[in-house]
Amino acid sequence: MYVGGTVISSVEFHGNMSLVIFMSKCPLACRYCHNVELLEDNSEKSFDEIKKEIDSSRDFLDAIVISGGEPLLQNDAIIEIFKYVKEVGLKTKLDTSGIYPDKIRELLDLNLVDYVSLDVKTTFSDYRKITGADVGDDVKKSMDLINDAGVHLEIRTTYVPTLHTEKDIIDLVGEIKAEVYTIQQFRNKNVLDPALEKVEVPNPHDLAKLARKVKPYFDGIVKVKSGEFGEQVI
């Protein structure tokens, strides 16, 4: 399996100490992507190596998070890892763009996922301008599948001032359903589109103002995530 790296984190699965596994490769070309090094990374790890890493940290772990890249490109590897994680009694979280609803359905049918963070880039009809691909309908289908399965769902959007307007975010919130909606701070370092390196990083106070504007349109918890203050519930 293609794995770009791992890290121990206390913030990727709220309230849980987690081992985060970053799977390489992604078919999208999101202009603000800040994990560019993972897109074409060919570093490999075997399941036994991942298993040993889990076992070596298991005494102080609560969960395993699989992120990316787009981890669903390697769905067989996810299934193998999460089956083992469930065997040893840890929780599971998946970070995904949601562009492969059939693969999400497979994971849900196997009861392998406790928590999904779904990156919704913009309104479902406007996906091409952000990702270069018309995959909004697939993302919506994934969202509906996760909700129907009763799995805890967080939807996240990275707010890029030159790519999104406040109206875009309000319209987006009107299209989604989840327990949590998080507006993430755009970072202008190591992004796929070099032109975005000149875009100013949004002020966390401005993001909080935006979150307060969208809160009346969302039936759930609204958060802001920034480098300065971490996660804030609005």
The pLDDT value given to residue 36: 65
Please, are residues 216 and 229 in contact by the beta-carbon 8 Å criterion? no
3-233 has which CATH code?
Answer: 3.20.20.70
| pTM for this predicted structure | 0.92
DSSP states along 67-130: ESS-GGGGHHHHHHHHHHHHHTT-EEEEEE----HHHHHHHHHTT--SEEEEE--S-GGGHHHH
In the predicted structure, residue 201 carries a pLDDT above the cut 90 = no
In this predicted structure, what is the pLDDT of residue 129? 85
Q: Does the structure show a pLDDT above 70 at 20? A: yes
Spell 151-164 as b/e; 16+ CB within 10 A means b.
bebbbbbbbbeebb
Residue 13's SS3 state is strand
Higher-pLDDT residue of 200, 119: 119
Return the pLDDT at 152: 96
- pLDDT at 147 (0 to 100): 97
Residues 68-80 have pLDDT tens digits of 889 999 999 999 9
How many angstroms separate the first and last alpha carbons of the chain?
39
Higher pLDDT, 190 or 123: 123
Phi, psi of 44 (to 5 degrees): -120, 145
How many whole angstroms separate alpha carbon 17 and alpha carbon 58?
Answer: 10
What digits encode the pLDDT tens for the residues 86-99? Answer: 999 999 999 999 99
Give the pLDDT confidence score for residue 86 in this predicted structure: 96
Domain ranges of the chain: 3-233
Rg (CA), the chain: 17
Dump pLDDT digits (tens) for 28-40: 777 777 776 666 7
Angle between helices 75-87 and 101-109 (to 10 degrees): 20
Give dist(CA 22, CA 1) in Å, integer: 11
Q: What is the pLDDT of residue 80?
A: 96
Residue 16's alpha-carbon distances to 93, 207, 211, 230, in angstroms, are 11, 25, 25, 15
Residues in the chain: 234
Percent of the chain past pLDDT 70, that is, above it, reads: 98
Residue 54's SS3 state is: helix
pLDDT, tens digit, 9 for 90 and up, residues 150-181? 999 999 999 998 888 999 999 999 999 999 99
Task: Give the whole-number percent of the chain exceeding pLDDT 90.
Answer: 65
Q: 3-class SS at 231?
A: strand
Residue 226 pLDDT = 86
Distance, in Å, from the CA atom of 45 to the CA atom of 206, rounded to the nearest integer, reads 41
Give the residue-averaged pLDDT of 106-117.
Answer: 96
Alpha-carbon distance of 108 to 14, in angstroms, equals 21
